[in-house]
Structure 1
Amino acid sequence: MTEILGAGDYRFEPVDDWARLPSEVVLGDVAGIAVDGKDRVYLFNRGQTPVVVLSRDGEVLAAWGEGIFTNPHGASIGPDQHLYLTDNFDHTVRKFSLDGKLLMQIGTAGVSSGFMSGKPFCKCTHSAVSPSGDIYVSDGYQNACVHKFDPNGRHLLSWGSPGTGPGEFNLPHNICCDPDGWIYVADRENSRVQIFDPNGRYETQIVNMHRPSGLAITPGSCPDCIVGELAPYLKVNRDFPNIGPFVSVLDRQSTVLSRLDAGRGAGLGPGQFLSPHSIAQDSVGDLYVGDVVDADWAAVFPDAEKPDRPRRFQKFRRYRS
């Protein structure tokens, strides 16, 4: 019997063995996932071939990116149908054509702005493009801010500082733009998504989540948020139920509309997660989720399901009864 995860309008069926990868394509952790206007899926991963492009049916269409990146972290495709790849160890955001031609680089490779400088970049995490073409970058691992650039990469403004209040961040890990230009930031260690206007003015926040890592938004105005929630890692709460890891859908009133949880806890089996780091949705509503599997995950989750072939990304088909 097919396993259906989630609830209401957001029910999904795990698609086992979706991708047909040849033996020479060996993926690392899929830190970033993006889907273009033709529903081609871009896996930005930490293996030997950083960008692997798949069809909706899982066929490999292209693979490229060797020798460019230090640590792939975030991937997005803007309304301009260009691919934006964020490298957190390299402190850069690079813009590519969909066939892999480098078009622009923001940031200087290997040069950090300094710990909590508030300036671009110090281990930036993700990028998103607004309908007007402006580029927003979450700068999170050793910074606590968001930077806005014009379509040519000219720095326009930055906002944010360390903290827990409105407009403050504790590891801004992911970022999205909706069709009206609102900015959604996964404020991971504050366990919330903050929403801003295009100029960085705080509007509201979405809560009822635990350590949001992956983030995607549904189409249209006032979208719902699709959030990859991390599990508790601390020794004191590691075994607590109902805290993750899973993928949840929440509306802007912080109501949990659906939760993808196979009911077996952390693991790498179908419908399970360890660290749902990247999320993308295609034109028919199917979900793609990338897992980042830390080297010591077996120690953190000693009882997690351990398949022979680790699943570093999964596809979930939108279920319609």
Structure 2
Amino acid sequence: MQKKMRASRRFSLVFLAGLAAGVAFAADDVVPTNDLPNPYRAEKPWGKLPGERAWGAVSAVAVDNDGRSVWVGDRCGPHPKTPPGVSAFAWDSCAESDAHPIHHLSPEGAPLLSFGGGRFVFPHKVFLDKAGNVWVADNRSPNERELKANPASAGRGHAVYKFDRQGRLLMTIGTPGKAGDPPEGLNEPNSIAEAPNGDILISEGHSGQAPASGPGTVARISRYTKDGKYIGSFGQWGYGPGEFRTPHDIVFDDQGRLLVADRGNMRIQVFDEAGKYLAEWKQYSRPSAIALANGKIYVADSESNGTYAHPGWERGIRVGDYKTGEVLYRIPDVDNFKGTSSAEGVAVDAQGNIYAAEVGARQMVKYTAK
């Protein structure tokens, strides 16, 4: 454990130097940050849906601007024909369902509002902007099996939607049902973030970590004005600085720096507000989601030694000191079954409670301090 902690601190100093100097660096010899304390207890499953509907695969969670209530996106309940032993990722979707997949839950987990039925295929991330509007990324179009079962779903997916707090649609970015390039289209939108000046950034490209991916696979960050006018994009598929293999989540810190969960490359990349590469962090393993709160960084790793292995690293949520980068805690995967488990989405409320959205386990988990 001493060796692991020293490695984390050494990486912290390099990271801070990289941010200050605005230079690229790599640290491929990072020791896995597994053997760390876990000062949290789990409440699972947490949260209820209207009518006691069962959760589908859950990857989207965000704390409301009130700091207490929670927004969650699930994939419309477990598919009734999912074969035994097959992952929720492969089957759960909203393509064959009119169930509402976007939910506002009270601090106690009671349902307050649900909406979005008949609009989505694959809700991936939920984001609250400063005005309290609810943004949702619908990551993909229906597959062949889903289209055959419900041809009407052909016009869904590859789009980002902005809703008001009552679920009324305010804006659509992309062309629903058609993968494409900006300004008309999006391709596998993953996550949304709001820049300090109000611009909206969208990370695109979910397929970049697949074994068959390569140059030409979409992996970029696209920027729009708050009114939805396309400004430009940066990034491409690859392993180098400023390149991505599935930019799975994005978030701005309070200094205007953009953090990208570059999941396929098993790192967090950091950019200035204009998209200039500053540094990278590898001590948080294979990041699916990032949350910043209370001076800490919370990173969900849902895939290490699961669907996509990261040898030597264990899944879970890693919590670190954002100022130094030191990894302080690891919350282990509470179920630890094969495939994608643990948290794929993560959010933190004003009291420091952690909310985990789990795809494989089809549940929400709330972590509180012991």
Q: Indicate the TM-score class for this superposition, using the shorter chain for normalisation.
A: 0.7 to 0.9
> What's 2:130 paired with?
79
- The separation in 1 between residues aligned to 2:161 and 2:304, in whole angstroms, is 30
The reply on whether 1:232 has 2:305 as its aligned counterpart is yes
> What's 2:19 paired with?
none
TM-score (norm 2): 0.70
The reply on whether 1:280 has 2:347 as its aligned counterpart is yes
- Mark the CA change 1:21 to 1:118 in structure 2 (over 3 Å): closer, same or farther: closer
Contact 2:58 2:362 in 1 (8 A): no
> What's 1:132 paired with?
197
- Mark the CA change 1:118 to 1:186 in structure 2 (over 3 Å): closer, same or farther: farther
Higher RCO, 1 vs 2 (CA within 8 Å, ≥6 residues apart): 2
Extract structure 1 runs of 4+ deviating beyond 6 A.
Answer: none
Letter in 2 for 1:144: A
- The separation in 2 between residues aligned to 1:27 and 1:311, in whole angstroms, is 6
Deviation by residue 1:270-301 (Cα, 9 ceiling, x = unmatched): xxx814211111111111011111xxxxxxxx
> What's 2:72 paired with?
43
- The separation in 2 between residues aligned to 1:31 and 1:51, in whole angstroms, is 11
Deviation by residue 1:124-183 (Cα, 9 ceiling, x = unmatched): 111111232111111122511101111101111210011111111111111111222211
Deviation by residue 1:223-271 (Cα, 9 ceiling, x = unmatched): 5421111222479x68x6x522201023365421211126x77149xxx
The reply on whether 1:165 has 2:271 as its aligned counterpart is no
SS of equivalent to 2:264: helix
- Give the 5 Å matches for 1:69-218: 69-89=120-140, 90-113=157-180, 121-141=186-206, 142-218=217-293
Letter in 2 for 1:161: Q
> What's 2:327 paired with?
256
- Mark the CA change 1:233 to 1:317 in structure 2 (over 3 Å): closer, same or farther: closer
SS of equivalent to 1:189: helix
- Mark the CA change 1:11 to 1:120 in structure 2 (over 3 Å): closer, same or farther: farther
1:266 to 312, 322, 336: 336
Cα deviation, residue 193, structure 1: 0.6
- The separation in 1 between residues aligned to 2:50 and 2:172, in whole angstroms, is 31
- The separation in 1 between residues aligned to 2:57 and 2:36, in whole angstroms, is 25
Contact 2:127 2:136 in 1 (8 A): yes
Cα deviation, residue 208, structure 1: 1.5
Contact 2:58 2:363 in 1 (8 A): yes
> What's 2:92 paired with?
none
Cα deviation, residue 311, structure 1: 5.0
- The separation in 2 between residues aligned to 1:209 and 1:63, in whole angstroms, is 33
Contact 2:245 2:264 in 1 (8 A): yes
- The separation in 1 between residues aligned to 2:178 and 2:259, in whole angstroms, is 27
- Mark the CA change 1:265 to 1:28 in structure 2 (over 3 Å): closer, same or farther: closer
Cα deviation, residue 318, structure 1: 3.4
Cα deviation, residue 197, structure 1: 1.0
> What's 1:302 paired with?
none
Deviation by residue 1:181-227 (Cα, 9 ceiling, x = unmatched): 211100001001111111100111111133211221225xxx54211
- The separation in 2 between residues aligned to 1:202 and 1:153, in whole angstroms, is 25
The reply on whether 1:31 has 2:84 as its aligned counterpart is no
2:118 to 58, 64, 67: 67
Structure holding more helix per residue = 2
Letter in 2 for 1:105: T
Letter in 1 for 2:248: H
- The separation in 1 between residues aligned to 2:124 and 2:134, in whole angstroms, is 13
Letter in 1 for 2:72: L
Structure holding more strand per residue = 1
Letter in 2 for 1:11: P
SS of equivalent to 2:237: coil
SS of equivalent to 1:212: coil
- The separation in 2 between residues aligned to 1:260 and 1:198, in whole angstroms, is 31
- The separation in 1 between residues aligned to 2:183 and 2:175, in whole angstroms, is 16
Question: Which protein has the larger Cα radius of gyration, Structure 1 or Structure 2?
Answer: 2
Contact 2:341 2:359 in 1 (8 A): yes
Cα root mean square deviation, aligned: 2.6
> What's 2:39 paired with?
11
- Mark the CA change 1:11 to 1:99 in structure 2 (over 3 Å): closer, same or farther: farther
